[in-house]
Amino acid sequence: MNRRIVIAILSLGLFTAWPAIATPPYTAIIIDSGSPYFVPKSATVSSGTPVRWENPTATEHTITHIGCLEDPTACAFDSGIVLPNGNFTLPGLAPGRYPYLCRLHPIMYGIVTVTDSFAPSQL
């Protein structure tokens, strides 16, 4: 086979494989201007799976764990301002329930439930 063709095929393989390597799987939550504001409002992920909020709205928002409002030591995550067309990604969280809201619009709230990778019934 012609060496150029072989190189072209190998290059094509590298380019098609690249996005899969560069982008780890994550669970996406889309911010919406109307109710329920976070889609899905209740998301369940297994521990180790990143969660990514995407903001396609024309407004700034935050993704703030409820614990941050009560006690800084109980704050699991706080995005700060997420700009329009911006996003906020959390690496994998420990198992638990994480209610959150938008500091700027507290009517916007949701919950992420992180399950253990191994359910007790499987042990």
Tell me which stretch binds Cu ion (CB under 5 A): 19-27, 78-86, 96-104, 114-122: 96-104
Q: Contact between 102 and Cu ion (CB under 5 A)?
A: yes
Binding-site string for Cu ion from residue 11 to residue 40, where x marks contact by CB under 5 A and - marks none? ------------------------------
Residue closer to Cu ion by CB (options 44, 59) is 59
Residue closer to Cu ion by CB (options 33, 44) is 33
Q: Which residues of 57-91 are buried (b: 16+ CB within 10 A; e: fewer)?
A: beeebbbbbbbbeeeeeeebbbbeebeeeebbebe
The DSSP secondary-structure symbol of 26 reads: -
Residue closer to Cu ion by CB (options 41, 105) is 105
* DSSP H/E element including 64: strand 64-65
Tell me which stretch binds Cu ion (CB under 5 A): 6-14, 73-81, 88-96, 106-114: 106-114
- Show the tokens assigned to 67: 């614990």
For the CB of residue 50, give the shortest distance to Cu ion in the complex, in Å: 21
Contact 65, 102 (CB under 8 A): no
Considering only residues 38 to 77 of the shown chain, the ones binding Cu ion according to CB under 5 A are 61
Q: Which residues of 100-111 are buried (b: 16+ CB within 10 A; e: fewer)?
A: bbbbeeeebbbb
Q: Which residues bind Cu ion (CB under 5 A)?
A: 61, 102, 104-105, 108
